[in-house]
Amino acid sequence: MRTIQGIPASPGIAIGVAFQFLDDEEPTIPRYAVTERELDGEWDRFVVAVDKSKDDVTALRDRAVREMGHEHGAIFDAHLLMLDDPEVLEAIEYSLRESLLNIEWIVHQYEQAIIKRLEGLSDPVLQERTVDVHDITRRILNHLMFRERFSLADLNTDVVLVARNLLPSDMIAMNRTKVKAIAMDAGGKTSHTAILARAFEIPAVLGLGGVGRTIKNGDVVVVDGNIGDIKIDPDTLTLERYEKVRARMAERDVNLSSLVGLPARTLDGKDVLIKANIEVPEETDSVLRHGAEGIGLFRSEFLFLQPGRAPSEEAQYSAYRRVIESMGGRPVTIRTLDVGGDKVVPDLAIEEEKNPLLGWRAIRYCLSDSELFQNQLRAILRASAYGDARIMFPMISGPVELDAALAALEEAKEECRTRGQAFRADMPVGIMIEVPSAALIADILATKVDFFSIGTNDLIQYTIAVDRGNEKVAYLHEPFHPAVLRLIKRVIDDGHAAGITVSMCGEMASDPFAAVVLLGLGLDEFSMSAVSVPDVKRTIRSVSFEEAQAVALEALTMTSHHATETFLAQRLSGRVSRE
């Protein structure tokens, strides 16, 4: 048995037989000289191949829109723009006539030059755009060489898909009922593959490097998308262990499914709202299936991850409206664009900074780009006419930023009125509390908004001064650090004193132990990944509010993260489980 470690990109555990989607990726490109008399014929072949590629991409776009919505169709809209780009076409024609080499070789060389340029950039998300370049040029070359590429839509047996890379077209076209897991060389958590795998609930481990040399066709593999582990040819004991884990998880899911239609109500009758976080619109199915009572955080960054240019107002409006309508009247909170720091988005002019986590990001960036911000605000406002929508501003550090954001929202409302576009005039407006300064003046900020949402991922990072992406100090990212608990209590108390609701959309909200403490501190709403909803609902239904208050008060007296963990494990033993 061998174990390889990659990036846990989509959670879940799968056991299956490996299917290599590798040999078809890199065809041998012919290289030969052509005469000047043959140049027009070479160019004509290229034009025909481009036209056929446009037909292919248009069909894929239509399927993506039909099955998954316009935001995924935008991936292929960008591909069509590239196929029509006059600068690209001129560059290829110039190289063809200058080099007097066959068109296949010219296209291949052009691809390599663009990929080399992208890979030389420091921005990892821009580096990932090489996938789109590869997708387009492979398609053109396949038509030039009369080469049929195996389609993952033709899979007819259950497989663990092993690949160097999966192009956007592969993910859209593949038979998702047969792909039980994905193991891939390239990609990170923000790649198209990762985002789509999570949306499809397919376990995935990415960033493996050389996976085709390690995993062979027919190998039995275990893919653990929770921690990024892959077991190759596992021994009998390991297989039995994972089968038991899967069986336990399946049994647990069945038991938890009985809670889907039940409220998150404590033993003494206190109701709490549990919502879900989403990144892409098609996740709404999962939200409803797992019994969430709304969407507490719709991360709008995904709409900006498509290659090409920032999404138009219409494209955003369509995506937001689709989510709001899909939720059937349940509340949907849309966070405005949160970029910069560790969230890098292509095609936005965010300069490299020495300390990006403390730099030009989130609301700071949006306030500096009025056109981009107004497009998004108008799109959200217009979509609000179709259901219970709320808007939320990220990384507010003080009243000056908040006032500027609120003024921008009023400007967007006035523009919608001028255009005669309907919107919900009383749409609730909230802010993320994820900066210590905001937590410390929560009483001031609470007078200006309708709700708070505590973003613990960043709040912990900034409070303890620990980069959660730095493996050397990641152990210090402690949700139960006394300072973090005290700040959370302060935010909840100040919010309630001002008569507004307080929710949490950070990872801490999905921890069953933390749920008891947060409930006791008075948190009104929890928001988390959809798959975590039943577990937290079960936790809340297993305790009384009175007991949760006592647990929270005791936790606030603890002097360390470890002491709090130990106390909670002992106090909640037998009733609350993290498994």
Q: Which CATH number does the domain housing residue 6 bear?
A: 3.50.30.10
- Answer yes or no: do 139 and 239 share one domain: no
Number of folded domains that form the chain: 3
**Pick the catalytic residue: 72, 192, 290, 481?**
192
The last residue of one of the domains, among 201, 229, 252, is: 252
Q: Using CA atoms, how far apart are residues 497 and 26, in angstroms rounded to an integer?
A: 63
The pLDDT of residue 122 is: 56
Amino acid at 298: F
Say if CB 35 and CB 175 are below 8 A apart.
Answer: no
- Answer yes or no: do 135 and 158 share one domain: no
pTM: 0.69
Instruction: Assess if residue 498 is contained within a domain.
Output: no
The last residue of one of the domains, among 205, 226, 252, is: 252
**Pick the catalytic residue: 416, 477, 505, 561?**
505
395-444 residue pLDDT tens: 999 999 999 999 999 999 999 999 999 999 999 999 999 999 999 999 99
- Answer yes or no: do 177 and 72 share one domain: no
Instruction: Assess if residue 123 is contained within a domain.
Output: yes
The pLDDT of residue 347 is: 46
Strand order in the sheet with 204-206: 2-5, 229-232, 220-224, 13-21, 159-163, 179-184, 204-206, 7-10
Upper half-sphere CA count for residue 184 (Cβ side, 13 Å): 28
Q: Quickly tell me which residue has 């956007």 as its tokens.
A: 168
- Answer yes or no: do 40 and 123 share one domain: yes
Say if CB 219 and CB 233 are below 8 A apart.
Answer: yes
Q: Which secondary structure element, helix H or strand E, spans residue 568, and what is its range?
A: helix 561-571
- Answer yes or no: do 281 and 346 share one domain: yes
The CATH number of whichever domain residue 361 belongs to comes to: 3.20.20.60
Per-residue CA distances from 449 to 390, 436, 459, 518 (Å) = 11, 18, 19, 22
Which stretches of the chain drop beneath a pLDDT of 70?
22-27, 67-75, 120-129, 148-150, 168-169, 189-192, 195, 199, 256, 305-309, 340-360, 468-475, 578-579
Instruction: Assess if residue 316 is contained within a domain.
Output: yes
- Answer yes or no: do 510 and 411 share one domain: yes
Instruction: Assess if residue 451 is contained within a domain.
Output: no
- Answer yes or no: do 302 and 174 share one domain: no
Annotated catalytic, 481?
no
- Answer yes or no: do 421 and 514 share one domain: yes
Q: Using CA atoms, how far apart are residues 296 and 316, in angstroms rounded to an integer?
A: 18
The CATH number of whichever domain residue 113 belongs to comes to: 1.10.274.10
Give every CB contact of residue 269 below 8 A, 6+ residues apart in sequence.
Answer: 545
Residue of 373, 376, 343 whose CA lies nearest to 357: 343
Instruction: Assess if residue 29 is contained within a domain.
Output: no
What's the angle, vertex CA 431, arms to CA 430 and CA 435, rounded to 5?
165
Q: Using CA atoms, how far apart are residues 111 and 94, in angstroms rounded to an integer?
A: 15
The pLDDT of residue 231 is: 92
- Answer yes or no: do 138 and 10 share one domain: no
How would you classify residue 323: left for phi > 0, otherwise alpha for psi between -120 and 50, otherwise beta?
A: alpha
Amino acid at 269: G
The pLDDT of residue 527 is: 95
Structural domain boundaries enclosing 177: 2-24+151-252
Annotated catalytic, 134?
no
Q: Using CA atoms, how far apart are residues 395 and 499, in angstroms rounded to an integer?
A: 22
- Answer yes or no: do 84 and 169 share one domain: no
Q: Using CA atoms, how far apart are residues 168 and 248, in angstroms rounded to an integer?
A: 34
Give every CB contact of residue 368 below 8 A, 6+ residues apart in sequence.
Answer: 360
Instruction: Assess if residue 30 is contained within a domain.
Output: no
- Answer yes or no: do 17 and 56 share one domain: no
The last residue of one of the domains, among 252, 277, 300, is: 252
Q: Using CA atoms, how far apart are residues 187 and 457, in angstroms rounded to an integer?
A: 23
- Answer yes or no: do 278 and 327 share one domain: yes
Instruction: Assess if residue 384 is contained within a domain.
Output: yes
Instruction: Assess if residue 539 is contained within a domain.
Output: yes
